[in-house]
Structure 1
């Protein structure tokens, strides 16, 4: 269910609902009249028809191909646009099944099944680049790296381009009245799908000299140690751990994890370890790595995205210093999520204002069964289009309105109708 299957369908249905509403914003017909000095009024009958923008290309990711893919797919279809689905070469099957079923349903409904096509690529092919810049392609949906997302925004100029890219998701810790709940919640957020979610926290900002909790004060060093212990407790059962972690999706994530262990060395507060998957012996499973950094001396490290199970506890001068860092890094590098832990209403209000100005969604004092990684259709937006991590939000009116135009026709009303008016 997590970010696939029914959750993906939730997001698809949400896009359909938004698109349906926006297409119904204007009436299908209207009668317009203008009084004249002599004779009867001028009367016109007018018709307004939503018309699709053109061919859409969905460039999918390899981690959540359906959850990230269904919003664009269904938003394009319901606004009258055929869709070419270009799956990631490491995650073809989920979208291949989707396309097969879509074509069957289209045929049953009397449509040409080629309204939806699959464009799988062989290794070395640059199918996405060719499709996205084709003059007949008018819509592009993309989830993936900042590098290619930025390229699409710059070069696919003939299309409406919707991108979700990378970012530095940040947690600010000021104080808490449920330290155990904070640790459980944050540990699960770091472990879920081995940190391979675009919403996983990376930078955890903590006053280096300490913060207050219901279990007494904790320094940044102590917090990093406690977070590591919470991860060990969460992932102590191999079966449960495998279900939470999943597997490392590709060599790039594994190499990044190994690089972090090497580069950070003695600053690693909780090293990653290898686990055996009880059902899939060939799966590559790793627990999260947590390193202890400092805001002043390690900016080069924490200002880059380390996609995967790598997170940093970053010591700051104070909570205000942490708020400034949150604002600066999100505005400069982007983020899809931010989180704050505090018992101080003034700090909470400052965090809200910081998030609003930085353009990032904020979660406050999550200690229960809701996690910063997750968003619910019809209730939570995903992305804001207000910082560099994404230029679109799932799902808001802007996500659907650029996929169609309202085209008008008008004519004089029949004379008898004019007389009656």
Structure 2
């Protein structure tokens, strides 16, 4: 599969000298070649986005609804092709790639629903110096949105930015990950064929220098970024006066209390640590277990991890496929080797890595120091660390011992411990009796602390993409 270049104002831009080769992350075979955009392409992407916004912002809710419905139909009709493309360019196991397309369909369904019920509030009046007056607010689209999406959910996370924008009246310039750009280009084609105005969704293939120019451009009114904390906070620092939302991941923990059925919990945690090779913002990285059940649970968890199918993402049984690049394989291997040199134990105990296919691990480590990167930073890999706790208060302190605050999973049958978790754990999402990786696409999703700003989920993203205009009469 091959495309010419960026998709701007309804068509592909002209080829340029600088090329991007897109590979199958498992076989390393080339599956596409794109041209990087140049200064002229970038200006065209921005200016046509501004023009499209002006023509689209006040179109009827019915028009937005009908176009979104057509896009929804296109996603359904192309489900298998989209999943195969995700599998190849992201290295995502095919069963999980199909799940991503299903979630993307749900995301657009939610946008379809919300497109006809964007509303403001009635403001109480008729007292003090407002006697005889009435007031209401109207949600108004903010303006062109710059969306920067990551490799790990190249379709659904792009749609978490694009779909609410289309529902509320904003235009979008999407800058997809250079590891997975083809799905973004394909999505732009589907959007164009759904009847939206030209330029409403442009997709640019550009490197860091031009990406920064996009972020600094004052014609964008919102930057929506999903990716690493280092990059996200830097982009916020150069974004100027525009609104910024950031989804930056974390090092999610799970607490396993002694009240639960251990075999069933071990199965969930094993998958939670390793699904899509751990390349998920809410992948379980820190496993905290009551000391009374620690040894029993450790044995069960090791057994479950060793059962996980590893290898070709085209195999429907595969759970752990390749990491996104050889550089990431080397990064993670260095982290694991460093932790082991400092005294950590590798509980899996046999080598499963196939670096020629970008496959690494899985690893389950104990005795990892809390100052080690595998405890304090985001691994984004099939790597988890285990520690025991004596009291539930100690477990809460361990969860909070992080600069991140996205989601946590808590396995317990104690209502008092559930309540204590809600009151004292410093994360944005608390998942009871499931792994931290639970998500459905309408819920408010995002983090606190270094995990980000703002929330995804169609209703919540629309709030970020609109402002309330007050009317008093």
Conservation of the 8 A alpha-carbon contact between 1:33 and 1:42: yes
* 1:352 corresponds to 2:448: no
In structure 1, the residue matched to 2:254 is: 171
Instruction: Specify which of 228, 247, 266 is matched with residue 145 of structure 1.
Output: 228
In structure 2, the residue matched to 1:376 is: 440
* 1:65 corresponds to 2:154: yes
* 1:132 corresponds to 2:215: yes
Secondary structure of the structure 1 residue equivalent to 2:367: strand
* 1:97 corresponds to 2:97: no
In structure 1, the residue matched to 2:103 is: 7
* 1:323 corresponds to 2:396: yes
* 1:269 corresponds to 2:347: yes
Secondary structure of the structure 2 residue equivalent to 1:340: strand
Q: 1:410 to 1:253 in 2, by over 3 A?
A: same
Alpha-carbon distance, 1:60 to partner: 0.9
Q: Residues 244-287 of structure 1, C-alpha deviation per residue, up to 9 Å, x if partnerless?
A: 123211234312331133112252112574367xxxx9642334
Q: 1:181 to 1:167 in 2, by over 3 A?
A: same
In structure 2, the residue matched to 1:415 is: none
Instruction: Specify which of 119, 126, 129 is matched with residue 24 of structure 1.
Output: 119
In structure 2, the residue matched to 1:292 is: 366
Instruction: Specify which of 375, 380, 384 is matched with residue 307 of structure 1.
Output: 380
Q: 1:219 to 1:130 in 2, by over 3 A?
A: same
Q: 1:127 to 1:271 in 2, by over 3 A?
A: farther
In structure 2, the residue matched to 1:363 is: 431
Q: Residues 81-139 of structure 1, C-alpha deviation per residue, up to 9 Å, x if partnerless?
A: 211111111111111001111122236xxx3x111111112xx5423211111011111
Measured in 2, the distance between the counterparts of 1:226 and 1:353 equals 31
**More relative contact order, 1 or 2 (CA 8 Å, 6+ apart):** 1
Secondary structure of the structure 2 residue equivalent to 1:339: strand
Alpha-carbon distance, 1:146 to partner: 0.1
Q: For structure 2, list consecutive stretches of 5 or more residues without a partner in the other structure.
A: 1-94
Instruction: Specify which of 278, 284, 287 is matched with residue 204 of structure 1.
Output: 287
In structure 1, the residue matched to 2:405 is: 335
Conservation of the 8 A alpha-carbon contact between 1:253 and 1:307: no
Secondary structure of the structure 1 residue equivalent to 2:193: helix
Q: 1:47 to 1:352 in 2, by over 3 A?
A: closer
Moved more, 140-149 or 77-86: 77-86
Secondary structure of the structure 2 residue equivalent to 1:185: helix
Larger radius of gyration: 1
In structure 2, the residue matched to 1:417 is: none
Q: 1:407 to 1:342 in 2, by over 3 A?
A: closer
Equivalent residues in 2 for 1:221-300 (5 A)?
Answer: 222-235=296-309, 243-265=318-340, 267-271=345-349, 273-274=351-352, 283-293=357-367, 297-300=369-372
Alpha-carbon distance, 1:196 to partner: 0.6
Q: 1:264 to 1:225 in 2, by over 3 A?
A: farther
Secondary structure of the structure 2 residue equivalent to 1:5: helix
Alpha-carbon distance, 1:181 to partner: 0.4
Conservation of the 8 A alpha-carbon contact between 1:192 and 1:244: yes
Measured in 2, the distance between the counterparts of 1:272 and 1:85 equals 42
Conservation of the 8 A alpha-carbon contact between 2:245 and 2:453: yes
Computed over aligned residues only, the root mean square deviation of the Cα atoms, in angstroms, reads 3.3
In structure 1, the residue matched to 2:18 is: none
Measured in 2, the distance between the counterparts of 1:33 and 1:260 equals 64
Normalization by structure 2: what TM-score? Answer: 0.69
Measured in 2, the distance between the counterparts of 1:308 and 1:236 equals 13
Normalization by structure 1: what TM-score? Answer: 0.77
Q: 1:400 to 1:223 in 2, by over 3 A?
A: same
